[in-house]
Amino acid sequence: MTVSRIIRGRTLAFRDDPFRVSPDESVDQCDDGAVVVAEGRIVEVGPAQEVLPRHPGAAVDAYADALVMAGFVDTHAHYPQMELMGAYGAQLLEWLVKYTFPAETKYSDLQYARAGADAYLDACLANGTTTASVFCATYPASVDALFDAALGRNMRIAAGKVMMDRNAPAPLCDTAETGYRDSKALIEKWHGRGRLTYAVTPRFSPTSTPEQLDASGALWREHPTTLMQTHLSENLAEIEWVRGLYPQAPDYLGTYEAAGLLGEGANFGHAIHLTEREIALLRESGSAVSHCPTSNAFIGSGLFDMKGLRDCADAIRVGIATDIGGGSSMSMFDTMKAAYEIAQLRGYSLHPARAFWLATVGGAEVLRMGDRVGNLVAGYDADVMVIDLKSTPVIERRMRRADDIWDALFTQMILADDRAIRAVYVAGEKLHDRDEARADA
């Protein structure tokens, strides 16, 4: 095995869940650490003084004043919506009709979708996000474009074709039958190729008939290594609508339950306004939720209950997510900051150890990739980011007062943006270098 490179800096890895143990017990950190990479994988993580002599002649990328950690994992985003981020003045149901559906219609065109997919994945990398679970549009071409672009970058990306067969413009609708058939063909074409994972993607109960949800459940059962992603209880008017559309269902989650869409690998976006029954059902079924804090604030949806769902006995698996383009930022720093602020509004303070854990290890676990990505561990894929801890004059001044790792990390999650992402490695290859990108501009 030939070592392809060593990444040197202040390394941070998680050894336990900071919702269960204290922040200090949850991490392994080294002020002068080294991550050894070979054949796309992490071979070794340890103090540079011990590690470097074992690999004489290996190329070393050394970063001063920088934190080396696993790339971010964004557990819920819609790539065709990047072009409508920051759309003014609407809440969920109006926002979908006014902005979202028209934008997604354009993704029937493969060339258009390719350009959108490249722009999206490049923006992910520039923000340190190396893995995401992505909604495409209804059109298979929109999935081909994203997976092709992810394969070209060798990124670990989950994605799926949105299925919807009612309550959306005709050009965006499939049927229970074509949604199933086209998704199945996409699974056969893409799932497990390179580092790609297919996610069965019924958009949400209001835009699917019960027949389509049933077909989605059947498809997921036939392909149990795929993921399942959808939306749940984001907005109060949406919940009322579901009540009217599914009079037999006990609650919103019950519409998915009836179709066999719960279980490990199921990932429900938003999950804000939940009943006790729904919370118990999510927990018992091993389903996960994606907290989308910038989106929930921006579209005015509500305040996610981090304490009640995650910082408690019998916690539910939670990831944090940008929810582009309902979300207002591509940055997981902004996303952690919004998660902190929303928790504060509910009287709960989200510790930076927990925020960074959710944005890496926690997200990977939501996507059943917790043994591959989201952490700096020997044997894991070398998806690594380098965070410049003094990326702006304001942060530089603030960091003079940061006397421990937690204050340094908290400063980053509140003040940093893509300027802090110094470098990003995907399967060991450097795909983003901030300073080279600047020099090119």
Q: Which is nearer to ligand GUN, 323 or 334 (CB)?
A: 323
Whether the Cβ atoms of residue 424 and residue 130 lie closer than 8 Å to each other: yes
154 binds, among ligand GUN, Zn ion, none (CB under 5 to 8 A by kind): none
Helix axes 405-415, 332-345, angle to 10 degrees: 100
Considering the complex, what minimum distance in angstroms separates the CB of residue 392 from ligand GUN? Answer: 30
Closest distance between ligand GUN and the C-beta of residue 92, in Å?
A: 6
Tell me: cis bond preceding 325? Omega within 30 of 0 counts. Answer: yes
Options 10, 153, 161, 203; binder of ligand GUN; rule CB under 6 A = 203
Q: Which stretch binds ligand GUN (CB under 6 A): 55-63, 92-100, 192-200, 347-355?
A: 92-100
Count of positions on this chain that bind ligand GUN (CB under 6 A): 11
Binding flags for Zn ion, 287-316, as an x/- string (CB under 5 A): ------------------------------
Restricting to residues 278-297, name those near ligand GUN by CB under 6 A.
Answer: 295
Choose one: 111-119, 319-327, 351-359, 429-437; the region binding Zn ion (CB under 5 A): 319-327
Q: Which two tokens stand for residue 20?
A: 């269960």
Q: How many CB atoms lie within 10 A of CB 174?
A: 22
Q: With CA atoms as reference, report the closest residue to 361 among 69, 56, 6.
A: 69
3-state secondary structure of 306: helix
Q: Which is nearer to ligand GUN, 234 or 418 (CB)?
A: 234
Q: List, as one string, the DSSP characters of 320-345.
A: E---TTTSS-S-HHHHHHHHHHHHHH
Per-residue string for binding with Zn ion, 322-351, x by CB under 5 A?
-x----------------------------
**Binding-site member from 26, 100, 129, 322 for ligand GUN (CB under 6 A):** 100
Reference 314, options 341, 344, 276; nearest CA is 276
DSSP assignment of 372-434: TSSS--TTSB--EEEEETT-SHHHHHHHTT--SHHHHHHHHHHH--GGGEEEEEETTEEEEEH
**Residue 269 found at the interface with Zn ion (CB under 5 A):** yes
Report the nearest approach of ligand GUN to the CB of residue 295 (Å). Answer: 5
Could you tell me the smallest distance in angstroms from the CB atom of residue 82 to ligand GUN? Answer: 12
Query: 153 touches which of Zn ion, ligand GUN, none (CB within 5 to 8 A by kind)?
Result: none
In angstroms, what is the minimal distance from the CB of 263 to ligand GUN?
21
Output the smallest distance, CB 231 to ligand GUN, in A: 4
**Single-letter amino acid, residue 317:** R
Distance in Å, CB of 201 to Zn ion, minimum = 10
Residue 16: C-alpha distances to residues 22, 115, 216, 362, 434 (Å): 9, 40, 35, 11, 31
Shortest distance, position 171 Cβ to ligand GUN, whole Å: 16
Count of residues touching Zn ion (by CB under 5 A): 2
The interface partner of residue 204, options being Zn ion, ligand GUN, none and the CB cut-off 5 to 8 Å by kind, is: ligand GUN
Could you say whether residue 212 binds ligand GUN (CB under 6 A)?
no
Nearest to 111 by CA among 142, 79, 78: 142
The rounded distance, in Å, linking the Cα atoms of 11 and 222 is: 41
Are 72 and 386 a contacting pair, CB within 8 Å?
no
Q: Which of 326, 352, 362, 363 binds ligand GUN (CB under 6 A)?
A: 326
Site membership for ligand GUN, residue 273 (CB under 6 A): no
Q: Half-sphere exposure of 290 toward its Cβ, with a 13 Å CA cutoff?
A: 32
Q: Around Cβ 82, how many Cβ atoms within 10 Å?
A: 20
Taking the alpha carbons at both ends of the chain, their separation in whole angstroms is 37
- Residue closer to Zn ion (CB basis): 269 or 428: 269
Is the Cβ of residue 197 or residue 205 nearer to ligand GUN in the bound state? 205
Residue with tokens 């960091």: 399
With CB atoms as reference, the residue minimizing the distance to ligand GUN is: 326
The least CB distance from residue 297 to ligand GUN, in Å, is 12
Token code pair at residue 93: 């149901």
Please choose which of Zn ion, ligand GUN, none residue 295 contacts, taking the beta carbon within 5 to 8 angstroms, the exact cut-off set by kind.
ligand GUN
Q: How far apart are CB 293 and Zn ion at their closest, in Å?
A: 13
Closest separation in Å from C-beta 293 to ligand GUN? 12
Spatial separation of the C-alpha atoms in residues 11 and 194, rounded to whole Å: 27
Of the candidates 236, 250, 414, the residue with the CA atom closest to the CA atom of residue 334: 414
Please give the residues from 225 up to 244 whose contact with ligand GUN meets the rule CB under 6 A: 231, 234
3-state secondary structure of 287: coil
Instruction: Using CB under 6 A, list all residues that contact ligand GUN.
Output: 78, 92, 96, 100, 203-204, 231, 234, 295, 323, 326
By CB under 5 A, name the binding residues for Zn ion: 269, 323
